[in-house]
Amino acid sequence: MLKGLARFKSAVLPGTFISFSLLGFAFLLFFTLYTSQDGNLFSELDSRIYGLLKFTLYQAFLSTILSLLVGVLLAWALAHQSHFRGRSLLVALFSSSLVLPTLIVVFGLIGIFGRSGYLNQISMFLFDISFGSYLYGLGGILLAHVYLNASFASRALLHSFESIPKEKYKLAKSLGFSVWQRFLYVEYPALKSTLLSIGSTIFLLCFTSFAVVLLLGGSPSYNTLEVAIYEAVKLDFDIGMALKLALIQLSISAVLVILSSGFRVDVANLKTGHTLILWKESKVLRGIQWSIIGVFTLFFVLPLLVIVLDGIGADFGRILQEPLFIKSFITSVSLATVSSILTVIIAVLLSNARRNFTLSTRLAHKPLAKLLDGMIAFSGNLYLAIPSLVLGLGFFLMYQNSDGSEFLWSTAALLTANVLMSLPFALSVLTPAMHKTAQRYDKLSFSLGLTTVQRWIYVEYPYLKSSLGYVFALAFCFSLGDLGIIALFGSDDFSTLPWYLYQLMGSYRTTDAAGVAFVLMVLVLSVFIFVPRLFQSNIEKK
């Protein structure tokens, strides 16, 4: 092991050091939370905490089931209706749900389904019937989670549909399979592993959901652990309760990440394509498929359209001159840029280290290789085990016990959260790409005696360029739209665009909020669409 390590030390040591540092930080966070709470954690679990835990798991389970159901139906419909104008644009639009700030989505859904939303106004005008405040509660939480996660699931599942060899469809047709038999014996086996992977990811995201529940929960009976932590710190100043809730959520999240880590798959590929399915659908079935596509497209597009319609009516001349808006904009863009650069660097180093422990031409056959690979993989997915509010509470306690400035601690907390939030997705993009590059060019690079820098310039970067651009754009958008940590540290002196938007919504400045939401949405979508194009490699252009 040591002899092999000496050869690949420049590739192994930096990533391994970062991995140990991340795990050390996680231990420090848990130690800080545990030593700060008084009494026995598990002997003081009351009915309120059991109620919070029960609802958190319940809404996450329902959200996951509904998101997967809608995602499968949409992917199935798109796979079998693969030739229509605008299909690629539509699929790319669904892919953008991955980076849309949760606050914007909630704002758009309120604009459609809220008490003063367009749907209620139309109903009142035509039938003099009001739907009331049905959006606030479990129904609204599930609606928002399905919006955010079903489109993400459908894109990954569509890729699985497109990977099915057309020979299987030919065989199924020759055997006279019905539509249900075709799905059961041809399509479902191709979807199974992706369903497990996407399902585990969606469950974890919904289990740690914050902004959706904070804005649409409506009452304490619909609170989750994450929102309860926020209220305990910011509203009740009950640090003891916050610590108890944080440790419970941290323990459960860590167990869920460990249990689900065995069936994760990559979510990197966002390119659209289609497989020609030699199967003439009946008119009824085509009608069902087109209905699914049409209904979900309306459901997905209308909230964004509401943001555009309401946003363009805002007084941008005044909003853009507001000192708090300017401060929030500069802070958001600066933090997003720095965290994106850090995410790219850390993801490259971790991916570089991992491929040494997975390739047989390197160190895969050495003792401890699998253990080290698993350790690095887990360290890159810490955000799923350490939710943002738990992370923020840890930084808040460290700040309370130190002499440092609040601004520095707040900045460090946001940067750490942004990097950890982006790392799982960054690694899912870069790890397979770097693994493939090593498989293809290791022998040539070793025979030419290329240095680490030379290999990066002539071998790695030309093939990783587009992936690096995509990772940068993802990390930037994630950082720009996050409301997690800033909810604990946000103030007039330290504000980001999501926090500023949340304040406007809370003070019922709806018109200004629509303007800020419009600016944030345009900024996020512009970065997500155009930045990866700047990094497009010459190899892809050919």
Q: How confident is the model at residue 339 (pLDDT cuts 50, 70, 90)?
A: very high
Q: Are the beta carbons of 59 and 206 closer than 8 angstroms? A: yes
**pLDDT 10s digits, 484-524:** 778 777 777 788 888 888 888 878 788 888 899 899 989 99
Count of C-beta atoms within a 10 Å radius of residue 280: 8
Q: Which two tokens stand for residue 478?
A: 């994630």
- Summarize the confidence of residues 216-222 as an average pLDDT: 77
pLDDT for 268: 45
Q: Is the dihedral of CA 56, 61, 62, 68 positive or negative?
A: positive
Phi, psi of 250, rounded to the nearest 5 degrees: -60, -45
pLDDT for 207: 87
**pLDDT 10s digits, 318-337:** 888 889 999 999 999 999 99
Query: At which of 311, 328, 351 does a domain end?
Result: 311
Count of C-beta atoms within a 10 Å radius of residue 326: 12
Look at 257-261, 477-481, 524-528 and tell me which has the smallest mean pLDDT: 257-261
Q: Is the dihedral of CA 370, 371, 375, 376 positive or negative?
A: negative
Does 43 reside within a domain? no
- Summarize the confidence of residues 344-349 as an average pLDDT: 91
Question: Does 219 share its domain with 362?
Answer: no
Q: What percent of the chain has pLDDT over 90?
A: 11
Question: Does 211 share its domain with 340?
Answer: no
Question: Does 25 share its domain with 102?
Answer: no
Question: Does 320 share its domain with 302?
Answer: no
Cα of first residue to Cα of last residue in the chain, in angstroms, is 41
Q: Which amino acid, residue 508?
A: Y
Does 445 reside within a domain? yes
- Summarize the confidence of residues 468-489 as an average pLDDT: 85
Question: Does 334 share its domain with 246?
Answer: no
C-alpha 34/C-alpha 26 separation (Å) is 12
Does 41 reside within a domain? no
Strongest mean pLDDT among 23-37, 116-130, 199-213, 269-283: 199-213
**pLDDT 10s digits, 482-493:** 887 787 777 777
Higher pLDDT, 378 or 304: 304
Q: Burial of 119 by CB count in 10 Å (0-12 exposed, 13-18 middle, 19+ buried)? A: middle
Q: How confident is the model at residue 476 (pLDDT cuts 50, 70, 90)?
A: very high
Higher pLDDT, 404 or 376: 376
Does 217 reside within a domain? yes
pLDDT higher than threshold 50 for residue 266: no
Question: Does 510 share its domain with 390?
Answer: yes
Higher pLDDT, 102 or 82: 102
pLDDT higher than threshold 80 for residue 2: no
- Output 291-299 pairs: Cβ under 8 A, ≥24 positions apart: 292/73, 292/74, 292/76, 292/77, 293/74, 293/77, 293/78, 293/81, 293/90, 296/70, 296/74, 296/150, 296/151, 297/90, 299/147
Q: Are the beta carbons of 512 and 319 closer than 8 angstroms? A: yes
Question: Does 105 share its domain with 249?
Answer: yes
Q: Burial of 54 by CB count in 10 Å (0-12 exposed, 13-18 middle, 19+ buried)? A: exposed
Helix, coil or strand: residue 218 = coil
Question: Does 189 share its domain with 240?
Answer: yes
C-alpha 168/C-alpha 158 separation (Å) is 17
Question: Does 438 share its domain with 398?
Answer: yes
Query: At which of 311, 332, 366 does a domain end?
Result: 311
Higher pLDDT, 524 or 313: 524
**What is the domain range of residue 229?**
48-311
**Cα dist from 88 to 158, 252, 295, whole Å:** 12, 39, 17
- The mean pLDDT of the chain is 80
Does 290 reside within a domain? yes
Phi, psi of 453, rounded to the nearest 5 degrees: -65, -45
Strands (E), 99-227: none
Q: Burial of 228 by CB count in 10 Å (0-12 exposed, 13-18 middle, 19+ buried)? A: buried
- Taking only Cα atoms into account, the Rg of the chain, rounded to an integer number of angstroms, comes to 24
C-alpha 153/C-alpha 267 separation (Å) is 10
Question: Does 88 share its domain with 226?
Answer: yes
Strongest mean pLDDT among 348-362, 363-377, 418-432: 418-432
Does 42 reside within a domain? no
CA angle, corner 206, sides to 145 and 504, nearest 5? 65
Look at 272-276, 377-381, 493-497 and tell me which has the smallest mean pLDDT: 272-276
Helix H or strand E segment including 193: helix 188-207
C-alpha 15/C-alpha 338 separation (Å) is 19
The interaxial angle of helices 323-358 and 369-380, nearest 10 deg, is 170
Tally the residues of the chain.
542
C-alpha 233/C-alpha 237 separation (Å) is 5
pLDDT higher than threshold 60 for residue 262: no
- Summarize the confidence of residues 457-476 as an average pLDDT: 86
pLDDT higher than threshold 80 for residue 362: no
pLDDT for 11: 64
Read off the CATH number of the domain in which 523 is found.
1.10.3720.10
pLDDT higher than threshold 90 for residue 344: yes
**pLDDT 10s digits, 22-77:** 889 888 887 887 777 665 555 455 677 888 888 999 999 999 999 999 999 998 88
Concatenating the DSSP letter of every residue in 415-434 gives HHHHHHHHHHHHHHHHHHHH
C-alpha 77/C-alpha 318 separation (Å) is 45
Please give the tally of structural domains in the chain: 2
Question: Does 381 share its domain with 459?
Answer: yes
CA angle, corner 210, sides to 204 and 216, nearest 5? 120
| pTM greater than the 0.85 cutoff | no
pLDDT higher than threshold 60 for residue 455: yes
Q: Are the beta carbons of 202 and 193 closer than 8 angstroms? A: no
Does 408 reside within a domain? yes
Does 294 reside within a domain? yes
pLDDT for 8: 59
Query: At which of 256, 281, 311 does a domain end?
Result: 311
pLDDT for 61: 93
pLDDT for 507: 81
Give, as one character, the DSSP assignment of residue 405: -
Buried b (16+ CB within 10 A) or exposed e, 172-182: beeeebeeeeb
Question: Does 26 share its domain with 103?
Answer: no
- Helix boundaries (H) for 211-368: 211-216, 225-234, 239-260, 283-311, 316-319, 323-358
